[in-house]
Every structure is written in structure tokens, then in C-alpha cells.
């Protein structure tokens, strides 16, 4: 998953600065100040909504409030990565993965066939599966211990994919605020971000709370934001 970002990093090299916390943005005399990151004609914010809401933004002595974005609800998710011997999985794994609808009353939200989608994800003769637990459907499940969560996933994999035996690899990662929920009325948040952009001050938004939660959505979001920024720069230079 890091192939694209690694390639961009190699191309931009010293233009990228990491490990620098920025809690406030100030625009004075036509330039945005980002502390140690210097001054710039425009700023693209691609943070989670709950981080955006914490930002203090001032444009030519006028505050710009992002606090309403704290109202965007995020669902907790546990990512469970399990490896198996190929002969211990009955399903051919000839696809992207499987989503588990609520009517099936399973523990997990679904499973991605990671080793079928990406190269070098599992040793020869083995497969790698990534399952997700929690979400707004079952947030209580992510409060269980890692071993308990993995066993819940194993129960589902035995039913859905015909998994036998025990995993040869196991890894769990918990994301307390993983996925923004595009509930009814979410448009007010997008409208707020769009209105700020259209003020023409050089502040832009992108990412999963702006244009959708999938990887594809994020790529499109970045591409479209780049177009808006290019248009802004043509007008101001």
C-alpha cells in the first residue's frame, strides 16, 4: 500500500518534511505561515476531521472556524491479519474479498484476500487474509482482547472460507477512529469545507472526510484538489 506514497516521496525528496506538528495556520500579507515549514501561497489540509477541528486558523486577522467538523462521527475498527497454509483454506481466494452483510450475523465486517491482490504478501504456499471487526455495527467487539478478537474472526473464516487449522501468522491493529460515517446530513460538512475554499484565501481540503473513504476516493480527492490549487495559483501569481 505504500508503493504510491514511497514513489512520490522519492520524486519530491527534500521538499517533504515529516515529524513536524502544526497546530495553527496564519495568513498574513498574502502568505500562509506553517511555522518551521515556512510560508506558502496555499495550504492543502488532508487530515482526519477530528484533527481538522482542532486546528486554529487565522486569515488576515480573521478567524476561520473548523470546529464544526468535530461533529463527523468515526467508527472504531480492528484490523486482523492472519496467515494460513494454502491447503488449510478451502476457498480459491480468486477475488478481492468478501463483505459480510448484517443479516448473516457474523462477527466481522468482511475479509480482504490480501495475498491475492498484492505481491509478496505471503511466503510460497501460504496466503494472507485481512479481516475487519467493529464499525458502527458492532463497536463493542473491539473492546475485547486481541486473542478474543482473532478467535471471533477465525469463527467467521471457518464458515465463509472453509479455513481449517490454526493461523501461521497473526497481527492485530486497532483504530479507535477509523472511518468517517457519511450519515444523512453529511453534506453540511462538505459544504462548509467548500465554502472556505471558495473564499479564495488559498485553503483547501482533501481526504476521506472530504470526498469518500476508499483508497480510490482518496486518489481522486488529491487529484481534484491539485486542480483547484493550480487554478488558485494562476489567479494569484
Query: Minimal CA–CA distance to 49: which of 217, 211, 234?
Result: 211
Give the pLDDT of residue 212. Answer: 93
Q: Are residues 92 and 151 in the same domain?
A: yes
Among 32-41, 165-174, 222-231, name the one with the lowest average pLDDT.
32-41
Does residue 80 or residue 8 have the better pLDDT? Answer: 80
Domain end call among 178, 193, 216: 178
Tell me whether residue 28 is in a domain: yes
Give the pLDDT of residue 94. Answer: 96
Tell me whether residue 17 is in a domain: no
Q: Are residues 90 and 32 in the same domain?
A: no
Tell me whether residue 88 is in a domain: yes
Q: Are residues 119 and 198 in the same domain?
A: no
Tell me whether residue 91 is in a domain: yes
Tell me whether residue 118 is in a domain: yes
Q: How many domains does the chain have?
A: 2
Domain end call among 135, 150, 178: 178
Work out the mean pLDDT of the chain and round it to a whole number. Answer: 93
What is the domain range of residue 171?
75-178
Tell me whether residue 109 is in a domain: yes
Give the pLDDT of residue 16. Answer: 83
Q: Are residues 80 and 173 in the same domain?
A: yes
What's the mean pLDDT in 26-42?
A: 85
- Tell me the three state secondary structure of residue 219: helix
What's the mean pLDDT in 69-83?
A: 97
Q: What is the CATH number of the domain that holds 190?
A: 3.50.50.60
Q: Are residues 160 and 133 in the same domain?
A: yes
Q: Are residues 53 and 86 in the same domain?
A: no
Domain end call among 178, 198, 214: 178
Tell me whether residue 67 is in a domain: yes
Element (H, E) at 7: helix 3-12
Cα first-last separation, the chain: 36
Q: Are residues 61 and 91 in the same domain?
A: no
Does residue 37 or residue 193 have the better pLDDT? Answer: 193
Residue 89's Cβ-side half-sphere holds a number of Cα atoms within 13 Å equal to 24
Q: What is the CATH number of the domain that holds 131?
A: 3.90.660.20
Q: Using the structure block, give the residue that is written with the C-alpha cell 460538512.
A: 189
Percentage of residues in the chain with pLDDT exceeding 90? 76
Q: Are residues 138 and 227 in the same domain?
A: no
Q: Are residues 55 and 147 in the same domain?
A: no
Q: Are residues 92 and 138 in the same domain?
A: yes
CA distance 137 to 107: 10
Amino acid at each position: 500500500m505504500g508503493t504510491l506514497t514511497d514513489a512520490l516521496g522519492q520524486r519530491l525528496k527534500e521538499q517533504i518534511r515529516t515529524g513536524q506538528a502544526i497546530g495553527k495556520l496564519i495568513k498574513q500579507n498574502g502568505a500562509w505561515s506553517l511555522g518551521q515549514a515556512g510560508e506558502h501561497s496555499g495550504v492543502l489540509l488532508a487530515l482526519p476531521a477530528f484533527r481538522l477541528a482542532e486546528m486554529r486558523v487565522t486569515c488576515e486577522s480573521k478567524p476561520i472556524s473548523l470546529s464544526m467538523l468535530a461533529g463527523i462521527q468515526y467508527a472504531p475498527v480492528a484490523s486482523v491479519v492472519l496467515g494460513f497454509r494454502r491447503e488449510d483454506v478451502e476457498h480459491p481466494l480468486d477475488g478481492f474479498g468478501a463483505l459480510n452483510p448484517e443479516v448473516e450475523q457474523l462477527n466481522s465486517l468482511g475479509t480482504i484476500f490480501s495475498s491475492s491482490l498484492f505481491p509478496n504478501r505471503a511466503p510460497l504456499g501460504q496466503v494472507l487474509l485481512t479481516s475487519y471487526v467493529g464499525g458502527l455495527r458492532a463497536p463493542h467487539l473491539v473492546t475485547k482482547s486481541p486473542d478474543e478478537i482473532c478467535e471471533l474472526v477465525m469463527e467467521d473464516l471457518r464458515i465463509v472460507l472453509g479455513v481449517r487449522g490454526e493461523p501461521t501468522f497473526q497481527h492485530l491493529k486497532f483504530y479507535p477512529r477509523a472511518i468517517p460515517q457519511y450519515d444523512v446530513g453529511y453534506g453540511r460538512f462538505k459544504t462548509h469545507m467548500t465554502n472556505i475554499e471558495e473564499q479564495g484565501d488559498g485553503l483547501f481540503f482533501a481526504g476521506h472526510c472530504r470526498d469518500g473513504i476508499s483508497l480510490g476516493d482518496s486518489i481522486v480527492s488529491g487529484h481534484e484538489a491539485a486542480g483547484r490549487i493550480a487554478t488558485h495559483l494562476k489567479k494569484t501569481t
